[in-house]
Amino acid sequence: MEAVQELVGPSSLLVEKFATAVKNGKKFSGESVMEAVGEFAEPSSIFADKIAAAVKKGARHASEQMMEAGVAFVQSLKESKTNKV
């Protein structure tokens, strides 16, 4: 996150969207992890698989939001350059 801030500035909308994406991904993962913990009585390999799936699900959710934020950022840069010409 710090590298992104250095690239685009600390108050950038992109940085804010990335931070939100990470938080949403964490929340998304957490919900799935808690569901898996609720089923703790199952054999441990199934529990571990569910934890891994929850983490992957959260990471995928966060990365999708980050990609959308990146595309929006690039689009705004393009529009900004077009308006200056």
The residue assigned the tokens 């900004």 is 80
Tens-digit pLDDT profile for residues 16-64: 777 777 777 777 676 766 666 666 655 667 777 888 888 888 888 888 8
What pTM value is reported for the model?
0.50
The answer to whether 25 and 58 have CB atoms below 8 angstroms apart is: yes
